[in-house]
Every structure is written in structure tokens, then in C-alpha cells.
Amino acid sequence: MSEELEFNPTPTEEPETAPSAEIFDLSSPLVQEESEVLPVVGRRRALEPSQKKEKKPSPVASLVEFVEVLVSALVAAILVLTLVCRTGVVEGSSMAPTMHSGDRYIISDLFYTPEQGDIVVFRPGIEGREELWIKRVIALEGQEVYIDPDDFKVYVDGEPLDEPYLSEYTGTINKGTENPIVVPKDCVYVLGDNRSVSHDSRYADLGCVEINRLAGRVICRFWPFNSFEFYN
């Protein structure tokens, strides 16, 4: 009888592997690299922009910047005065006491529609008179103007005109035009504030002024500086 031999191979025990030294060993190259970077990061933080001292611009750079701003402002002013506004000077005393001879003003005709009380500059359309005249709009097309010969007041559509801009003793006298007069279409009736010397719509050679002869409305007086004033 044959015997069965049992073969129980002894399992080969693999040696236990020690934990990786690269993970736990504080002397590993990885940890050393991190420890070497930390001080560098710290130094970089010390040099962040928010903590840097701002450099002041040099006097030359400041001067150049100032000149550039000044030139830009001058160019803009020239464009505005050329395309939108114009300047002029008063000659004579027909607008006293509101404006005097030598006063300088700015006018504009941009989107302009005449209104009662406006101070306007216009071409008189009188032969031999090429200069621009300056007067005040008293009435618009379709309105009736009447100058009372008794109280020397101006009436527009039957109502006395409030004229606070006149001197206390200034009265208005008709100079030969139709009185009362209805302002024609596309025209304005103008008077100077100094009625005793003003050549205006009371005179037949001027009469009512066509709107297409208006150069613009006076926006402000800028000279002399101590008399600077805007006009509504």
C-alpha cells in the first residue's frame, strides 16, 4: 500500500517593507527643497508692490505733463471758438449801461432761435456799414410793438415791456418808423439799451432785422475780467 505524502510547502514570507523614508524622513530632499524655498518666499513678500515706496516724478516729467495738458486745453479752446463760438468787441455806447465800449464778448449761433430779451449781434444791411451791430431783441415775428409818445414806454402786444436793464431816466422815442408796427415773418425788432443814442429798429433805414442776418446771441462778457457776466 502506497503512502500519500503530503506536501505542504512552507509559504515564503516576504520581508516586511519599511515605510518610505521619503515621506517621513525629515531629511528627505523634498522637505529640504520646501524648507529652502520658504525664506525666499518671505523675502519676495517683503518686496510686494503695495509695500514699495512710490517714486516721485522728476521735475522735468512734471513740466512735460503740464505743457501737454496746457496745449490740449488751448487746442480745445481754439476749436470751440472757431466752430461753436466767436468773440467780438463793443464799439460805441448804444448798449450802455449793460455793455460799454471796449467790452469783449462771446457769441454763439449754434442751434440758435431768437428770444425776447436776447442780446444779439447782426449785420445791419445798410450800405456802407459792414461792421457788426449789437442790440437787444424786443419783439419776435408776429408781435406788435408800440412806443407811447406820452410815457416813452415800449409796449409789446399791448403790454408795457419790463426793462430793468435801462437807466433810470431812459425813455424811448419813435424815430420815424410805423408806430405801432407788427414784426414781419422771420424778423426781430431790436433796440439798444441806451435809447438816446442807439440806431436801431426805430429808424427806417434799419427797421426790423431779418433772422438770417443775425451772427449769434451774446453768451457772456469776458473782458474786463472784473465785469465778467453771463447773459440769459
For the cut 60, the answer to whether the pLDDT of residue 6 exceeds it is no
Catalytic, out of 135, 153, 201, 227:
135
Greater pLDDT, 175 or 146? 146
Structural domain contains residue 18: no
Structural domain contains residue 44: no
| pLDDT value of position 48 | 54
Catalytic, out of 94, 185, 196, 198:
94
Structural domain contains residue 1: no
β partners of residue 210 = 187
Supply φ then ψ for residue 158, to 5 degrees: 85, -5
| pLDDT value of position 170 | 78
Provide the domain count of the chain: 1
Q: Which of 63, 60, 189, 213 is nearest to 129 (CA)?
A: 213
CA distance 159 to 139: 12
| pLDDT value of position 83 | 64
For the cut 80, the answer to whether the pLDDT of residue 143 exceeds it is yes
Residue at 59: amino acid letter:
P
Structural domain contains residue 75: no
| pLDDT value of position 169 | 73
Q: What is the pLDDT of residues 16-68, one digit of tens each?
A: 544 444 443 444 444 444 444 445 444 455 445 555 556 677 878 888 888 88
Domain CATH code at residue 178: 2.10.109.10
The burial of 37, by beta-carbon neighbours within 10 Å (0-12 exposed, 13-18 middle, 19 or more buried), is given as exposed
Structural domain contains residue 120: yes
Structural domain contains residue 216: yes
| pLDDT value of position 23 | 43
Structural domain contains residue 181: yes
For the cut 90, the answer to whether the pLDDT of residue 182 exceeds it is yes
Q: Is 135 annotated as catalytic? A: yes
Are 88 and 121 spatial neighbours (Cβ–Cβ below 8 Å)? yes
| pLDDT value of position 153 | 93
| pLDDT value of position 52 | 55
Greater pLDDT, 158 or 65? 158
Structural domain that includes position 170: 82-230
CA distance 162 to 117: 10
Q: What pTM was estimated for this model as a whole?
A: 0.66
Structural domain contains residue 16: no
Respond yes or no on whether the N-terminal peptide bond of residue 124 is cis (omega within 30° of 0). Answer: no
